[in-house]
Structure 1
Amino acid sequence: MKEIKNLGKKIKSLRKKNNITLTRLSELSGVSQGYLSRIENGKHDPTFSVLLQIARALQIQIGMLYEEKPQKNDHINIIRKAQRIKREQPEKDYSHFEFPTTIKNRKMRAYITEPSFTPIHVTGNDERTYFVLEGQFLLNDEILQEGDLAYIDTDTPHSGASHGEKKARVLSVIYSYDT
Structure 2
Amino acid sequence: MSWTRETDDKALVQRLGERLRRIREAKELSLSELSRLSGVPAPTLSRIENNKMSPTFSVLARVMEGMQCDWTNVVSDLSPDDQGPPDVSVVRQGEGAAAEVSGIDYMFLHRNEHAPLQTLIMKVTATDLNAVGGLIGHEGDEFCYVLKGRLALHIKDHPTEILKSGDNALFNSRIPHAYVDDSGKGSEVLIVMTRPLEAARTSTSESQALITRRTGRKESAALPRTARAPRKKVA
Q: Same fold (TM over 0.5)?
A: yes
Separation in 2, partners of 1:8, 1:53: 14
Separation in 2, partners of 1:59, 1:48: 16
Q: Where does residue 149 of structure 2 map in the other structure?
A: 135
The one-character-per-residue Cα deviations of 1:97-120 (angstroms, maximum 9, x if unpaired) are 141724148564534132544467
The one-character-per-residue Cα deviations of 1:31-70 (angstroms, maximum 9, x if unpaired) are 1100111112121222333333222322333321232135
Instruction: Say if 1:14 and 1:170 are closer, same or farther in 2 by CA, change over 3 A.
Output: closer
Greater length-normalized contact order (CA 8 Å, ≥ 6 residues apart): 2
Answering whether residue 88 of structure 2 is matched by residue 74 of structure 1, we say no
| Aligned residue identity for 1:128 | E
Separation in 2, partners of 1:3, 1:159: 23
Q: Where does residue 84 of structure 1 map in the other structure?
A: 97
2:137 to 120, 124, 128: 124
Answering whether residue 104 of structure 2 is matched by residue 95 of structure 1, we say yes
Question: What residue ranges of structure 2 are gaps of 5+ in the alignment?
Answer: 1-9, 154-158, 201-222, 224-235
Q: Give me the TM-score of the superposition, normalised by structure 2.
A: 0.58
Answering whether residue 27 of structure 2 is matched by residue 14 of structure 1, we say no
Question: What residue ranges of structure 1 are gaps of 5+ in the alignment?
Answer: none
Separation in 2, partners of 1:159, 1:7: 21
Higher strand share: 1
Give the secondary structure class of the aligned counterpart of 1:87: strand
Separation in 1, partners of 2:178, 2:65: 26
Q: Where does residue 124 of structure 2 map in the other structure?
A: 114
The number of aligned residues is 175
The one-character-per-residue Cα deviations of 1:110-161 (angstroms, maximum 9, x if unpaired) are 3413254446764535533221111223444654332221222455566754
Contact between 2:97 and 2:107, CA under 8 Å: does it hold in 1?
A: yes
Instruction: Say if 1:141 and 1:12 are closer, same or farther in 2 by CA, change over 3 A.
Output: closer
The one-character-per-residue Cα deviations of 1:13-43 (angstroms, maximum 9, x if unpaired) are 2322322211111111211100111112121
Q: Give me the TM-score of the superposition, normalised by structure 1.
A: 0.72
Q: Where does residue 152 of structure 1 map in the other structure?
A: 171
2:51 to 15, 35, 42: 42
Separation in 1, partners of 2:24, 2:160: 44
Separation in 1, partners of 2:160, 2:75: 37
